C-alpha cells in the first residue's frame, strides 16, 4: 500500500503508478534510488544523518562482518569522499550497526533486514552473503546523488532477499584478454548489483587463458595468436595472454570476498582449436592448426580416445583445485561433427559404444565428463547442446542459449536450467542503433528489452519452474578488444539484469526503474565506469527529401527510453537546462545545426549531446552504418577497422553473407556523381556449414568492383567503380564516379563484387554530388 500525506496530490498519484508493484509505504519522502529494488520497503517519518563521525559498529565478532564493513568503508571513501571508521557502540549513541544474527528477521538465503531510524542504521542477516547485500543497499542509500560527504538517509524499513540463486554474467576472456585488475573491476560492479556468479570463459579456438602446470604448451602456444595483418594498421604482431594459477587464486579470492562465485568454462568437445594447436595428439586429424584469429564456428574437435580423456581429467583436476565453485562449465556448444564423421578411429569408437550418430557421441562425451566431475563432488553445467544424447548426468545443469526451448526441454526432463538466451541476454549485441555505437552485433538489444525479459517460461508448471535456477547475460568479446568496449556493452544493461534477477516479479516496473537509474549513473561516474548512453541519447529526425526540396525541416527529437527532459540549441552551443526544452516538433530553415541532450530530474545530463548538421551536403552524405542491408539477409555486424583495434570509432556495417547495402530513395534531380569512402576489412570469420550462404558475384576487374544499381539490386547499372589492389593500397580509399542524369526519387543499391576468398569491403560513407 502507498500512503500519501496528501492523498489527492498529483505527485503522490505519479509515485503510486511508478511504484505500485513494490510493497512501499510512503510517508512524505521520495523513495530511495535502489537498484535492484528490495522485496519489501516501507518509508517512515524522520531521517538519520551520516557523516565522518558516524561509527560503524560490528555487533558480532565474525571475520566476514569485519570484511563487509571494510568493503563499505572503502567504497564510500572512493565514491563519496565519506570516510567512516569502525568504532565501539554503547547502544545509545547514533551509529551504523552491522550484525550477523541467526535470529535476523529475514530467513531466506542471502536475505537481510535494514532499518533506518533517527537513532541510527542497523543491517542484520542470517548469513554472510545477506549481510554483504545489505551493506550494498546501505551504500546506495548513502549515495543518492553526486554530492560528497555528509548524507541524510530517510527513515525506512527494508526486508529483502533474492528471487533467484543464479544471478550471472559471463565474461569471455578467450577471444579478447582482460587484465586481472580489469576482471576484478567488473566483479566489483557485479557485487554492487547483487549478482553472484561470474561465468569465466577461459578457453576457445582463439586462446587458452588458464595455466595448467601439467601441460605447459597450453599457454606457451595456445595463449597466443597471430592476427590477420599482424604488425600493420595498429594490429599487434602477436595477440594473447593467460592467467597464472596465482592470479586465478587472487581473482577467486577477490570475488569470494564480494560473495561472487566464479564458474570456469573450458570448452569441449568443440571450440578446441587452441588446445589442439598446443597438443595435436588431442585432436582428430593429428595435424597441428594455428591458434585461430577468426571469429565464428571452427571444425576442430577433441578426439574420443582414452589419452584425450586422460588429458581432460588432468586439466579438470587443476581447475577444480583453483575454483571452489560447485559448478564447472564444459561448453558443449557449436561442435560441428565433420572431423568425427571423417575419422575411421572415431567411427570405430562409435561402433564399439553402440552409438549411432555423432550427436549421440557428443552426449556420451559430455556424460563421461559429467561423471568425472560428479566423482569429485562437482556438477556439470553446459550450453543446451548437452541435451543431445542419452548420457547426461541427472544433476547436470543446462544453460539455455538458443532461445528458451533448451530450458523448457531440460526442465521437462528434470534438469536445472539457467536462462541465457540469444539474442535477448547477449550483451555483444549493440544497445542502440545510433551512428556512434561501438562495435558489436545487430539487432539492437535495448535496456528496456533486457528489463522486460521473463526468466520463467510460461509453459512450465510450478514444479517445473523450480528448475529455473536463474538467469545470466553473456559478454562475448569477439568485437570487444578492450575493457572499455566491455563496459560500454555491459552497462547500464547490467542494472536491468540485476533487477530482473533479484527483485520479485511483481516489482517489475519500467517507469519506476528509469526514475531510479540517474542515481546509479552518478555512481558509475564516481567510479569511472564507461557506461553506454544510447538509451537516453537524442535522435534528431527529419524528412530528408522534404528538406532537400524546401530547404526547411520539421525536427522531431526523441530517445530510445522515452525518458528525461530534452533540451536543444540551434546556435552550435552545447545544450543545457537553460536551453529551449523540446515538447513538440519544430521547424527550421536550412542550413542549421541542431544539438540536443536529455536531462534527468536532478539536472544531470543522461547522455552526451548529439548533433545533426542540416544542409544539402550533409543530407546527401550518409554513413555506411545508416544504410540498410539489401533484402534477403538480416545478419549484420558493426566492425572495427582491424580485429584487435583498441579504438571505439570508426566502425563499419558489414553483412558477412552479402556485401550489399541500400542508399535510401532520394530526389536525384541535379545529381552528377557519387563519392564513396570505402574500407577494406579482414575476412576473419569461420562460418562452418553456413559458408555456402555467402553470395559470390562475377567481377570484371582483377579485384572486383563497387557496382551502383538504380532502385533495385537487379536494376540498371549507374556506375561500376574498380577496387584497388589490396596488396598495394591503404585500407581506406575513395571511389568516385559520374552518374547519368536521373529525375525524380530513386534509391541506390551498392554491391561489392570482390572475390569472397579475399578481404571484406564496407562502406564508410556514401555521398551524392550535385552539378555545379
Please identify which residue in the block is written with the cell numbers 544504410: 627
Distance CA 219, CA 231 (A): 22
Spot the catalytic one: 334, 359, 539, 669: 334
User: What grid cell was written down for 761?
Assistant: 569491403
Distance CA 36, CA 707 (A): 52
Distance CA 560, CA 538 (A): 8
384 is catalytic: no
Distance CA 526, CA 517 (A): 14
Distance CA 636, CA 177 (A): 24
Spot the catalytic one: 193, 271, 467, 485: 271
User: What grid cell was written down for 404?
Assistant: 528458451
DSSP sequence for 506-568 = GG--HHHHHHHHHHHHHHHHHTT-----TTTSEEEE--HHHHHHHSEEEEEEEETT--SEEEE
Distance CA 179, CA 388 (A): 36
Distance CA 636, CA 630 (A): 11
204 is catalytic: yes
Q: What is the CA radius of gyration of the chain?
A: 29
Query: Which residues make Cβ contacts (< 8 Å) with residue 258, sequence separation at least 6?
Result: 71, 132, 187, 188, 190, 191
| Total length of the chain | 772
- Inter-residue contact 458 to 411 (CB < 8 Å): no
Closest CA to 647 of 433, 427, 443, 480: 480
**DSSP reduced 3-state for 497:** helix
271 is catalytic: yes
User: What grid cell was written down for 770?
Assistant: 550535385
- Inter-residue contact 398 to 384 (CB < 8 Å): yes
Q: What φ, ψ does residue 144 adopt, rounded to 5°?
A: -75, -10
What does each C-alpha distance from 611 to 21, 113, 540, 595 come to in angstroms? 38, 47, 8, 4
Q: Classify residue 624 by its DSSP letter.
A: G
**DSSP reduced 3-state for 406:** helix
Cβ-defined contacts of 251-255 (< 8 Å, 24+): 251/180, 251/183, 251/184, 251/187, 252/322, 252/323, 252/324, 254/184, 254/187, 255/187, 255/198
Spot the catalytic one: 110, 127, 160, 204: 204
Closest CA to 271 of 237, 311, 299: 299
User: What grid cell was written down for 701?
Assistant: 576487374
- Inter-residue contact 540 to 610 (CB < 8 Å): yes
Q: How many other C-beta atoms are found inside a 10 Å radius of the C-beta of residue 279?
A: 17
Q: How many other C-beta atoms are found inside a 10 Å radius of the C-beta of residue 333?
A: 16
275: left (phi over 0), alpha (psi -120 to 50) or beta: alpha
686 strand-pairing partners: 296
- Inter-residue contact 208 to 278 (CB < 8 Å): yes
Please identify which residue in the block is written with the cell numbers 534510488: 33
User: What grid cell was written down for 708?
Assistant: 551502383
Distance CA 737, CA 508 (A): 55
User: Which residues does the annotation mark as catalytic?
Assistant: 204, 271, 334
Amino acid at each position: 500500500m502507498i500512503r500519501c500525506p496528501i492523498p489527492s496530490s498529483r505527485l503522490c498519484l505519479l509515485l503510486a503508478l511508478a511504484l505500485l508493484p513494490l510493497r512501499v509505504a510512503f510517508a512524505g519522502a521520495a523513495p530511495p534510488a535502489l537498484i535492484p529494488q528490495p522485496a519489501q520497503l516501507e518509508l517512515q517519518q524522520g531521517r538519520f544523518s551520516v557523516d565522518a563521525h558516524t561509527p560503524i559498529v560490528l555487533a558480532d565478532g565474525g571475520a566476514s562482518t569485519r570484511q563487509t564493513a571494510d568493503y563499505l568503508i572503502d567504497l564510500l571513501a572512493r565514491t563519496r569522499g565519506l570516510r567512516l571508521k569502525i568504532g565501539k557502540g554503547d547502544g545509545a549513541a547514533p551509529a551504523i550497526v552491522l550484525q550477523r544474527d541467526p535470529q535476523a528477521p529475514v530467513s531466506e538465503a542471502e536475505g537481510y533486514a535494514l532499518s533506518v531510524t533517527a537513532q541510527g542504521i542497523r543491517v542484520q542477516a542470517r548469513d554472510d552473503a545477506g549481510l554483504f547485500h545489505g551493506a550494498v543497499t546501505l551504500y546506495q542509500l548513502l549515495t543518492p546523488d553526486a554530492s560528497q560527504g555528509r548524507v541524510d538517509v530517510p527513515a525506512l524499513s527494508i526486508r529483502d532477499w533474492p528471487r533467484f540463486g543464479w544471478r550471472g554474467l559471463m565474461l569471455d576472456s578467450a577471444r579478447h584478454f582482460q587484465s586481472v585488475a580489469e576482471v576484478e573491476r567488473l566483479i566489483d560492479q557485479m557485487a554492487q548489483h547483487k549478482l553472484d556468479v561470474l561465468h569465466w570463459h577461459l578457453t576457445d579456438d582463439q586462446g587458452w587463458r588458464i595455466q595448467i602446470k601439467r601441460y605447459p604448451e597450453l599457454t606457451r602456444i595456445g595463449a597466443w595468436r597471430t592476427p590477420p595483418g599482424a604488425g600493420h594498421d595498429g594490429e599487434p604482431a602477436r595477440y594473447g595472454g593467460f592467467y597464472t594459477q596465482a592470479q586465478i587464486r587472487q581473482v577467486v579470492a577477490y570475488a569470494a570476498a564480494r560473495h561472487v562465485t566464479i564458474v570456469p568454462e573450458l570448452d569441449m568437445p568443440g571450440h578446441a582449436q587452441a588446445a589442439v594447436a598446443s597438443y595435436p595428439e588431442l585432436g582428430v586429424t593429428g595435424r597441428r592448426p594455428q591458434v585461430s584469429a577468426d571469429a565464428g564456428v571452427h571444425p576442430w574437435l577433441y578426439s574420443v580416445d582414452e589419452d584425450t580423456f586422460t588429458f581432460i581429467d588432468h586439466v579438470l583436476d587443476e581447475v577444480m583445485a583453483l575454483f571452489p565453485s560447485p559448478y564447472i562449465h564444459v561448453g558443449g556448444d557449436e561442435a560441428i561433427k565433420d572431423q568425427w564423421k571423417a575419422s575411421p578411429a572415431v567411427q570405430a569408437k562409435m561402433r564399439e559404444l553402440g552409438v549411432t550418430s555423432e550427436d549421440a557421441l557428443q552426449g556420451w562425451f559430455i556424460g563421461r565428463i559429467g561423471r568425472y566431475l560428479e566423482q569429485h563432488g562437482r556438477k556439470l553445467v553446459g550450453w543446451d547442446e548437452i541435451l543431445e544424447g542419452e548420457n547426461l548426468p541427472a544433476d547436470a545443469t543446462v544453460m539455455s542459449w538458443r532461445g528458451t526451448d533448451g530450458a523448457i526441454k531440460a526442465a521437462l526432463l528434470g534438469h536445472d536450467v539457467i536462462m541465457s538466451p540469444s539474442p535477448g541476454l547477449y550483451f555483444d549485441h549493440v544497445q542502440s542503433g545510433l551512428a556512434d555505437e561501438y562495435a558489436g552485433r545487430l539487432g539492437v538489444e535495448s535496456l528496456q528489452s533486457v528489463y522486460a525479459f521473463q526468466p520463467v517460461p510460461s509453459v512450465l508448471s510450478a514444479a517445473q519452474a523450480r528448475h529455473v535456477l536463474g538467469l545470466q547475460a553473456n559478454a562475448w568479446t569477439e568485437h570487444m578488444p578492450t575493457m572499455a568496449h566491455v563496459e560500454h556493452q555491459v552497462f547500464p544493461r547490467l542494472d536491468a539484469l540485476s533487477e530482473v534477477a533479484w527483485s520479485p516479479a511483481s516489482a517489475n516496473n519500467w517507469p519506476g526503474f528509469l526514475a531510479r537509474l540517474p542515481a546509479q549513473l552518478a555512481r558509475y561516474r564516481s567510479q569511472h565506469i564507461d557506461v553506454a548512453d544510447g538509451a537516453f541519447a537524442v535522435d534528431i529526425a527529419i524528412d530528408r527529401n522534404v528538406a532537400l526540396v524546401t530547404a526547411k525541416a520539421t525536427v522531431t527529437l526523441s530517445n530510445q527510453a522515452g525518458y528525461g527532459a530534452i533540451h536543444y540549441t540551434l546556435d552550435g552551443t552545447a545544450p543545457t537546462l537553460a536551453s529551449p526544452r523540446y515538447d513538440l516538433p519544430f521547424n527550421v530553415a536550412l542550413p542549421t545545426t541542431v544539438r540536443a541532450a536529455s536531462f534527468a530530474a536532478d539536472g544531470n545530463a543522461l547522455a552526451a549531446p548529439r548533433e545533426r548538421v542540416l544542409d544539402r551536403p550533409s543530407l546527401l552524405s550518409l554513413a555506411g552504418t545508416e544504410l540498410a542491408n539489401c533484402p534477403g539477409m538480416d545478419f549484420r555486424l558493426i566492425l572495427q577497422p582491424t580485429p584487435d583495434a583498441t579504438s571505439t570509432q570508426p566502425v563499419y556495417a558489414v553483412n558477412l553473407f552479402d556485401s550489399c547495402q541500400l542508399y535510401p530513395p532520394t530526389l536525384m534531380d541535379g545529381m552528377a556523381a557519387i563519392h564513396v569512402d570505402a574500407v577494406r576489412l579482414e575476412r576473419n570469420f569461420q562460418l562452418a556449414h553456413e559458408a555456402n550462404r555467402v553470395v559470390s558475384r562475377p567481377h570484371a576487374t582483377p579485384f572486383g568492383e563497387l557496382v551502383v544499381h538504380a532502385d533495385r539490386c537487379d536494376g540498371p547499372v549507374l556506375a561500376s567503380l574498380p577496387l584497388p589492389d589490396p596488396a598495394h593500397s591503404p585500407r581506406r580509399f575513395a571511389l568516385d564516379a559520374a552518374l547519368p542524369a536521373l529525375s525524380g526519387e530513386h534509391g541506390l543499391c551498392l554491391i561489392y563484387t570482390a572475390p569472397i576468398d579475399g578481404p571484406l569491403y564496407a562502406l564508410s560513407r556514401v555521398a551524392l554530388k550535385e552539378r555545379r
